[in-house]
Structure 1
Amino acid sequence: MDPRPALLAALAGAMVLGAVHTGLATRPESPVVHGLRDGAVTTATVFDRISVSSADTHGLRVLLDGREIPFTAKGDHVQLPRMELSEGRHTLIASVGAVPQLTAAKVTRTFTVDDTPPRMSVEPVQADDLHAPLTVRGSAPGARIVTLNGSPVPVDEDGGFSTTLPSPPAYLDLAAADPAGNVATTETPVPTKHPRMRGVHMTALAWASPELREPVLQMARDGLIDTVELDIKDEDGEIGYDSQVPLAREIGAAKKYYDARATLDQLHALHLRVVGRLVAFRDPVLARASWDAGKHDRLVQTTDGQAWASGYGDYTFTNFANPEVRDYNADLATEAAELGFDDILYDYVRRPEGSLDRMRLPGLQGTPEQAIADFLAQSRETVRAHGAFLGASVFGIAVTRPTQIAQDIPAMSREVDYIAPMVYPSHWGSGEYGIDDPESAPYDITARSLADFGRQAQQGQAVTIPWLQAFSMRRTYGPEEIRAQITAAKDNGMDSFLLWNAACRYDPAALTP
């Protein structure tokens, strides 16, 4: 019998035992898992950030829930592939073992996948006073961190949170993150309780005229009005006071028709609200200066690149899609709110009339209607920060034809505190709302059109404060016609109104204390 096989087997056994007895000298070094701690709660994207390092990547095995997974070696690191993981508990094992009989050096990570964001709810809020603190309460069970408008708020064990802001913001921008990193977000406008107002329109030049200013002040003393609407920037692109906005000074738009600080102090001393009317995109001063400076993208253009004219002049309509144009108007609104205007009321916050196919709007993304709504949202935050309400004047036809001038009432109403429709009876065509001659039916046309506006504005929690006709066109409008419109608004639940007369002359007989 040949003794050599038995001898070889004994020798091999001795070598294995020797390796075992020499212990750690031949045991491989344990791999290291990066980016995943044991017991972690994480999302299914965990493998996007996990890697394993090992001195022996050739002998490395990686198992997920008992199944070996492939990997890509990069030096002493391996990158694990993107994996489709179900929610729940998982186990990852990385091991190295060159000799099968030896216990492999390994590392184990047990982790839980959670891809469900926390549920978040916020108690309804309403700002009754823009200068008073606002308390926000809500819950986000399972959330580790909750932020409100970028700042962290305390969260209790059940996910409840409560914080008080020094003044009401335009929006509540909330985010709740759980331990896995899932984030739930919500942005909610803060609805306001706009005070009742009965006001009249005054241009900057009219206010500078004692002949026009004093009758309005007397109406206030007699309790007939509680609000003066005073132009900030008018249809000519002129700013009534000495604005410090850099672009306004650069283009010569800032005038000194009235002293803003002194005027606000005077009117507030009489317990009057002051609404600043800001004509936005009809702006001949900015349009002409921009065209001459070669900044043509600031203007609405024809398809061949010329300035859009329509019925307003050759260089009149600025481009609401242009960031510089938007910022200019928003900066004026912010300045006026900071000065102390109680409301900022945009006018001509729209595109010009005419076919869109014949217009060029450089920089426009999406629809004109959405661009207008986005501009209002841009202004609302900074205006609200200074304690002022934001409104938007709109055409009467916008309630049934929103794309004709890019005024989508539900979309706009989500970004302002109130919608101010210009429902002048003289501006409706024959047959509107089933009325043959709207100008001869001030109550009917006002009541029917405002009913539509009220329904649409409520979709965004905005109130409706109408512009009413206090001027004559084909038919003489005296106290009776004005009172008919006021009654029509009141019958729609609208106690507030603004009277428009371009000449800024008003008949006290149309109003009652």
Structure 2
Amino acid sequence: MWKQTVTAVAVGVAVFGITSEVQAESDAEHVAQELEHKLSGIKTFTLPDRLARFVHSSDRQFDYPEDGVKGIYVTGNSAGGERFNTLVNMLNDTELNSMVIDIKEDNGHLTYRPDEDSPFYDIAQNYISDPEKMFDVLEENNIYPIARIVVFKDSVLAEERPDLSFTDNGKVWKNGRGEAFVNPFLEEVWEYNVDIAEEAAKMGFQEIQFDYVRFPEGFENRDEDLEYDTGKYEGGDGDNIHRRVNAVNDFVAYANEELSAYDVDVSVDIFGYAATVEYAPGIGQSFLGISDNVDVISSMIYPSHWTSYFGIDKPDLHPYEMSKEYAKVENALLDELEDGPISRPWLQDFTASYLPDGDWQTYGKEQVEDQIRGLKEEGITEFLLWDASNRYSQGVNYSP
């Protein structure tokens, strides 16, 4: 079991940078459009019937926001540092009401120190030095807490356990940004991440938000070259694309079932373009397959991350149109589900100056309001704001 073998060494502070994935999305879209596979042919993961069990619940008291979640992303550094008070004051002064706080960040570290006998102690950083104090502040200020857990992008676990990752000539494979992924085919990796999620639920988080629930971008271009275990997905029905989609869907279903004992909602972050294709062939994301197994679906619909979509040539310059047109597509998909999740997209509150000159603009009050308004006109009233540095625009009307 992983609990007996993982002794990952802390490898420094992770800095989550906003990088353009436009080309990766465009390539994946092109491939997907050429495929004739049907989503209906994808196998569905069926969990065994389980006996009723005790529901674990934290002593913390948080009510789901009456007008829905309107939240911001908060790094471990911010949650455990001086910026936390600034962000709390910002929420108290606006209609924002929730924080998505890193608990397992992008390198694979925990952002707080668990007890020394915890199997996760060696992968922990002390960014949030006093989680109890943090929760006291959240509770006192009626701020709804959501735990962000990065799943399959995990350099720490990959380096410690290459057998749980993808290797190239015996070495752990990394993408162009030096990031390693662990293998979504392997149930040991599922258990590892869900056990961390259970600890977050016990701390008092009301929702577990899983991010990077996917294979690496462009995996369809290297899936035959890398060395990795396909676990129970070896052979069987379907091709490599179907197996990847099955594995991702199955992880989400497994996590949702396991966390049902903790009285928390489960949400998943997903690429925005996944709603515009039948499924994303390289990364294994199926919008409907994931949505059918979560309480909340959070598409990352940052205008800067799109190529020419919805007839909009330079999306970053048209945040209102982009969010509105995306919402129409997503609403049509969710209408296909009998009991679909809450839609709560991630919105852009950062400036994408890495785009070519003329393709980007400075984002602030107007651009944030435009995105919210575009969603609202299509009936989507919940949202999350992303800025990697946690420096959010001032003076925004969050109910435009």
Q: Are the aligned partners of 1:350 and 1:405 in contact in 2 as well (CA < 8 Å)?
A: yes
Matches within 5 A, 1:317-356: 317-356=181-220
CA separation in 2, counterparts of 1:453 and 1:257? Answer: 36
Give the residue type in structure 2 aligned to 1:498.
Answer: L
Relative to structure 1, the CA distance from residue 307 to residue 166 in structure 2 (aligned partners, 3 Å threshold; closer, same or farther) is: closer
**Residue 271 of structure 1: SS of its match in structure 2?**
coil
Instruction: State the identity as a percent.
Output: 30
Give the residue type in structure 2 aligned to 1:311.
Answer: G
Give the residue type in structure 2 aligned to 1:316.
Answer: A
| Alpha-carbon distance, 1:246 to partner | 4.3
Give the residue type in structure 1 aligned to 2:72.
Answer: V
Matches within 5 A, 1:111-510: 149-150=50-51, 196-210=68-82, 212-243=83-114, 246-249=118-121, 252-258=122-128, 259-290=130-161, 296-302=162-168, 304-313=169-178, 316-356=180-220, 358-359=222-223, 360=226, 361-364=228-231, 365=233, 367-401=243-277, 402-429=280-307, 431-460=308-337, 461-474=340-353, 475-510=361-396
| Alpha-carbon distance, 1:149 to partner | 4.4
Relative to structure 1, the CA distance from residue 484 to residue 193 in structure 2 (aligned partners, 3 Å threshold; closer, same or farther) is: closer
Partner of 2:21: none
| Alpha-carbon distance, 1:458 to partner | 4.3
C-alpha RMSD of the superposition: 2.5
Relative to structure 1, the CA distance from residue 405 to residue 246 in structure 2 (aligned partners, 3 Å threshold; closer, same or farther) is: same
Relative to structure 1, the CA distance from residue 241 to residue 204 in structure 2 (aligned partners, 3 Å threshold; closer, same or farther) is: same
Structure in which a larger fraction of residues adopt helix: 2
Q: Are the aligned partners of 2:252 and 2:293 in contact in 1 as well (CA < 8 Å)?
A: yes
TM-score (norm 1): 0.59
Q: Give CA deviations for 1:301-339 in whole Å, capped at 9, x if unaligned.
A: 34x5542222231x6111111222111111011111121
**Residue 392 of structure 1: SS of its match in structure 2?**
strand
Partner of 2:44: none
Q: Are the aligned partners of 2:158 and 2:180 in contact in 1 as well (CA < 8 Å)?
A: yes
Give the residue type in structure 1 aligned to 2:77.
Answer: L
Give the residue type in structure 2 aligned to 1:216.
Answer: L
Q: Are the aligned partners of 1:443 and 1:485 in contact in 2 as well (CA < 8 Å)?
A: yes
**Residue 240 of structure 1: SS of its match in structure 2?**
strand
| Alpha-carbon distance, 1:450 to partner | 2.3
Q: Give CA deviations for 1:318-374 in whole Å, capped at 9, x if unaligned.
A: 111122211111101111112110111111110001242522441251611111111
Name stretches of at least 5 consecutive residues in structure 1 with no aligned partner.
1-147, 152-164, 169-191, 291-295
| Alpha-carbon distance, 1:381 to partner | 2.2
Structure in which a larger fraction of residues adopt strand: 1
TM-score (norm 2): 0.74
CA separation in 1, counterparts of 2:368 and 2:390? Answer: 15
Whichever of the two has the greater Rg, that structure is 1
Q: Are the aligned partners of 2:79 and 2:134 in contact in 1 as well (CA < 8 Å)?
A: no
Q: Are the aligned partners of 2:372 and 2:398 in contact in 1 as well (CA < 8 Å)?
A: no
Q: Which has the higher contact order (CA 8 A, sep 6+)?
A: 2
CA separation in 2, counterparts of 1:504 and 1:193? Answer: 21
Relative to structure 1, the CA distance from residue 308 to residue 400 in structure 2 (aligned partners, 3 Å threshold; closer, same or farther) is: farther
Q: Give CA deviations for 1:144-180 in whole Å, capped at 9, x if unaligned.
A: xxxx8436xxxxxxxxxxxxx9879xxxxxxxxxxxx
Query: How many residues were matched structurally?
Result: 320
Give the residue type in structure 1 aligned to 2:180.
Answer: T
CA separation in 2, counterparts of 1:358 and 1:463? Answer: 35
Moved more, 479-488 or 223-232: 223-232
**Residue 472 of structure 1: SS of its match in structure 2?**
coil
Superposition misfits of 4+ residues, deviation over 3 angstroms: 148-151, 165-168, 192-195, 243-247, 457-460
Give the residue type in structure 2 aligned to 1:300.
Answer: F
Q: Are the aligned partners of 1:457 and 1:463 in contact in 2 as well (CA < 8 Å)?
A: no
